[in-house]
């Protein structure tokens, strides 16, 4: 397994969106949903030296219409990389499966606000199982609903498409949600803002300017012929004031 570059260099505070463009660095987390699962280990090793983490979309065919994979695949990914694994649970009753995904190797577990009856209790359960805590909500769910639990999370994931399928177009209205999330962060704890859905070099700069710290990109990375160049294009477009 190869060593990977830290998501944020020493001396750079990832929680400071006001940092100047020359010092601020966005993290790139490819979604393996767009990878070739017949050669998944090779796919991961191909992008590993150039990214900061991996995003694993877990779908059950109930909470969302698609079905992807479960803890067995997460464990397989864990065996081939030291990259941080962010597991996005698009499933009903996610608390029931927290321990299974943590034991499989998830470093951060993201649950949907719409899938949990008692958000604070569910997020505390993520912490108690030893994982870092993420929360997300569908594009149609008012952002205000997540405000009461923001002090409990390490990452707020803004969905810029409707969850369930990869390869969708970025919804421009998501930029305002990212700006609103960045505003909510002020005085409410230190959490990162990730954006997932339709991310590419054409919108990376705008998303980061709105306040994002992590870009989740599947198709833009794994469907590219030259993954390194595709990641560099994302990274370059994400620097404020650069193209």
User: Which residues does 31 contact at the CB level (< 8 Å), separation at least 6?
Assistant: 54, 55, 56, 57, 166, 196, 216, 217, 218, 221, 222
DSSP E strands in the chain: the ranges are 27-30, 54-59, 85-90, 108-112, 132-137, 155-159, 192-196, 214-217
Active site residue 57: yes
Q: Find the catalytic residue in 57, 60, 154, 213.
A: 57
Q: Tokens representing 98?
A: 């927290």
Burial class from Cβ neighbours inside 10 Å (0-12, 13-18, 19+) for residue 54 reads buried
Q: What is the CA 146 to chain-centroid distance, rounded?
A: 17
Which of the residues 52, 60, 154, 196 is marked catalytic?
Answer: 196
For residue 93, indicate whether it is catalytic. no
Inter-CA distances, 138 with 174, 176, 198, Å: 11, 14, 14
Residue 7 has, within 13 A of its CA and on its CB side, a CA count of: 19
220: Cβ contacts below 8 Å, ≥ 6 apart: 199, 200, 201, 230, 234
Taking alpha carbons only, the member of 63, 58, 155 closest to residue 98 is 58
- Strand, helix or coil for residue 164: coil
**Taking a C-beta distance cutoff of 8 angstroms, is the pair 28, 217 a contact?**
yes
By annotation, the residues acting in catalysis are 57, 196
């Amino acid at each position: 397994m190869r060593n990977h570059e830290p998501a944020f260099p020493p001396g750079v505070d990832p929680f400071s969106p006001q940092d100047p463009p020359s010092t601020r660095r966005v993290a790139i987390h490819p979604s393996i949903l767009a990878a070739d699962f017949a050669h998944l280990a090779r796919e991961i090793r191909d992008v590993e030296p150039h990214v900061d983490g991996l995003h694993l979309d877990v779908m059950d065919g109930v909470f969302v219409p698609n079905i992807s994979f479960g803890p067995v695949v997460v464990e397989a990914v864990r065996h081939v990389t030291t990259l941080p694994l962010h597991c996005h649970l698009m499933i009903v009753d996610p608390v029931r499966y927290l321990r299974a995904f943590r034991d499989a190797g998830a470093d951060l577990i993201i649950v949907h606000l719409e899938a949990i009856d008692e958000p604070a209790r569910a997020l505390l359960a993520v912490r108690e199982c030893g994982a870092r805590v993420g929360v997300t909500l569908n594009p149609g769910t008012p952002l205000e609903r997540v405000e009461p639990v923001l002090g409990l999370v390490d990452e707020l994931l803004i969905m810029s498409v409707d969850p369930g399928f990869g390869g969708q177009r970025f919804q421009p209205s998501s930029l305002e949600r990212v700006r609103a999330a960045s505003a909510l962060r002020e005085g409410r704890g230190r959490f990162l803002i990730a954006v997932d859905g339709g991310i590419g070099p054409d919108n990376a700069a705008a998303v980061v300017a709105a306040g994002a710290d992590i870009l989740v990109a599947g198709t833009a990375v794994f469907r590219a012929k030259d993954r390194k160049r595709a990641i560099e294009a994302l990274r370059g477009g994400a620097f404020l004031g650069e193209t």
